[in-house]
Amino acid sequence: MPAPLSHIRVLDLSRVLAGPWAAQFLADMGAEVIKIERPRDGDDTRGWGPPFALQPSEADPGISAYFACTNRGKRSVTVDIAHPRGQEVIRALAAQSDVLIENFKVGGLAKYGLDHASLAPVNPRLVYCSITGFGQTGPYAPRAGYDFLVQAMGGLMSVTGEPDGAPGGGPVKVGVAISDQIAGMNALAAILTALLKRERTGEGEYIDVALLDSTVSALINQASTYLVAGTVPKRMGNAHPTVVPYQAFRTADGHIVLAVGNDGQFQRFCAAAGLEHLAADELYRTNAARILNREALIPAIAASIRQRTSAEWIALLEARAVPCGPINSIDQVFADAQVEARGMRRLLDHEKAGPLAVVANPVRMASHDTTAAKPPPLLGEDTEAVLHGLLGLSADEIAELRTNGIV
């Protein structure tokens, strides 16, 4: 069977993470994704190493581990969009594409005639997605937006980390570029929605996705706590504001996470831990009561958990259907039996880098392998094929563009 999006062509003018993350998912689902990169240098993240899957050289910027995480399945075409002839190439590609993704500063593509207003007449069916730090409107629209900055401004760091006054207390960012990733997934959802709408109306769409908006929406229950009750959430380390006990605990040889999501699980945990008296106490019988009395409850649980090893606790609690687990390092993640069984580590065959390990797409479909087999491309490896195959340029015309540094 053809891949679900094999009929879709995506023109990816984005760089770094949010836009490329959305485009990679589309590639995984079978879309033809043409990644436009700067001649000679390419996407900034090609140089974000070491480590490198393919070492850079004078002739090629290589493939960093960072670039490899978000660019599989794509075709790389080099175009200098600052040159009028390069702009003509992009307009011609946009005329034959279904989706365009870009993450330039607000107004950055207008001066090249490559903004939505300029391209919509060229291709009225085009789904055009702009991803920026702060969106196309509002007082911050002209600012550059980076993940770390937006995690801070969007409130995420105010609820991440140990409380003020505790050892190591203070705001902490999430260990991955989560604002970029969430914005990329929001962009993906909007693109797919717009494509569905286009099937019905025949019309394209303009999509405006902001990292800040995406981060604010990702505050979920923490934002709702403030909006409903006027209470400003604070950093609580690994504890949960409205579920108890739901946090990390030290064991005899490390740590485990205990995630008690309901009163029945609490009863079973107490029985396993020899803490039946806590389960019977009106101060702790319900989750609401445990929230009010967590300061007395948590030390009693912590003292009990310190008496056994992590492996002992996991075996004991899993047998009683009490959610718990280890805190794995990333090497332990990929050695985990469940992660291995789900095939989350995938090897792609790269002609120069050799076998290249990537994280598989987490979505499974019965009809389609949802991880693109094509490895992250070398810079400009598909330039001739795309310019000749899609735009009909001759070998001499492409050579002239190369000589002038346009591609």
Q: How confident is the model at residue 373 (pLDDT cuts 50, 70, 90)?
A: very high
Amino acid at 162: E
DSSP bridge partners of 357:
347
Alpha-carbon distance of 321 to 268, in angstroms, equals 8
Q: What integer is the mean pLDDT of 156-161?
A: 96
Average pLDDT of every residue of the chain: 96
Alpha-carbon distance of 255 to 233, in angstroms, equals 25
In percent, the amount of the chain with pLDDT more than 90 equals 97
The tokens describing 249, both together, are 């605990």
Alpha-carbon distance of 348 to 127, in angstroms, equals 30
Instruction: Please give the C-alpha separations between residue 170 and each of 158, 163, 306, in angstroms, as whole numbers.
Output: 8, 6, 26
Alpha-carbon distance of 192 to 51, in angstroms, equals 34
In percent, the amount of the chain with pLDDT more than 70 equals 100
The tokens describing 298, both together, are 């948590």
- Contact partners, residue 146, CB within 8 Å, separation at least 6: 133
| pLDDT higher than 90, residue 187 | yes
Alpha-carbon distance of 364 to 361, in angstroms, equals 8
CB 159 within 8 A of CB 173: no
Return the pLDDT at 292.
Answer: 96
Return the pLDDT at 163.
Answer: 92
Return the pLDDT at 165.
Answer: 87
Cα 103 to the chain's mean position, in Å? 15
Which pLDDT tens digit goes with each residue over 319-353?
999 999 999 999 999 999 999 999 999 999 998 98
CATH number of 246-327: 3.30.1540.10
Domain ranges of the chain: 9-217+342-403, 246-327
| pLDDT higher than 90, residue 148 | yes
Which pLDDT tens digit goes with each residue over 270-303?
999 999 999 999 999 999 999 999 999 999 999 9
Which pLDDT tens digit goes with each residue over 6-49?
999 999 999 999 999 999 999 999 999 999 999 999 999 999 99
Amino acid at 143: R
Which pLDDT tens digit goes with each residue over 120-139?
999 999 999 999 999 999 99
Catalytic positions are 180
Domain 9-217+342-403 - what CATH class? Answer: alpha beta
Q: What integer is the mean pLDDT of 358-370?
A: 95
**What are the phi and psi torsion angles at 399 (to 5°)?**
-60, -40
| pLDDT higher than 90, residue 1 | no
Positive or negative torsion for Cα 155, 161, 162, 167: negative
Other Cβ atoms less than 10 A from the Cβ of 326: the count is 17
Alpha-carbon distance of 74 to 66, in angstroms, equals 15
**What are the phi and psi torsion angles at 83 (to 5°)?**
-95, 135
Radius of gyration of the chain measured on its C-alpha atoms: 25
